[in-house]
Amino acid sequence: MDNVESDQTPFAAVTAQTSRLQRQYQALLDKSTPFVLYRWVGTSAFICLFFLRVFLAQGWYIVAYALGIYLLNLFLAFLQPKFDPSNDMLENEMEDGSAGGLPTKQDEEFRPFIRRLPEFKFWHEATRAITIAFCCSWFEIFNVPVFWPVLVMYWIILFVLTMRKQIQHMIKYRYVPFSFGKTRYGKTSTS
């Protein structure tokens, strides 16, 4: 344990401990970065634990609904490009009167797909939200009585409508946010 100096104020001691804990947390996050599959398996197990808690306790449907809306929002940000082609097209139309788009010909510039919300931040925010929702499910103040089938149907309708709009946007501007299904160019051996 670190010795606290006698001339150090209590505020400075708390700040030093908080800073040390933040560094340790960031080091843990940095070490977990390459383990994508394990991180998502852990998050999936944690969300299953949360929904099992909600199912067995027969309550906290508002917390689960809020979590679902937040995760849907994160997922949409994960699917969207950082530089939206529809916004670029509107700016181009205003500047020179011609409609722009993603490169379709060989002589046009290649622009790789960059996500608005990177995978690691998506995982981190989702895991943090699930943790907060799980903690909220242990406090009776968050157990608001609602008719849960209405929330489920509303969430499904919201999911279908937003995903339909997102898929139409992806088709219109010809981008695929996932790497599977794309052509992979590997190293060829010359022996």
With a cut of 90, say whether residue 45 has pLDDT above it. Answer: yes
Write the CB contacts of 32 (distance below 8 Å, at least 6 apart in sequence): 38, 39
Question: For residue 44, what pLDDT is reported?
Answer: 96
What is the band of 173 on the pLDDT scale with cuts at 50, 70, 90? confident
Q: What is the CA radius of gyration of the chain?
A: 23
The torsion angles phi and psi of 115, rounded to 5 degrees, stand at -75, 150
State the CB neighbour count (10 A cutoff) for residue 148: 16
What is the mean pLDDT of the segment spanning 177-188? 64
Whole-angstrom distance, CA of residue 185 vs CA of residue 191: 18
Tokens of 14: 């708390």
Taking the model in full, what pTM does it have? 0.74
With a cut of 80, say whether residue 76 has pLDDT above it. Answer: yes
Report the range of poorest mean pLDDT among 5-19, 82-96, 107-121, 136-150: 82-96
End-to-end CA distance of the chain: 60
Encode burial over 81-96: b for 16+ CB neighbours within 10 A, e otherwise: beeebeebbeeeeeee
What is the mean pLDDT of the segment spanning 139-150? 92
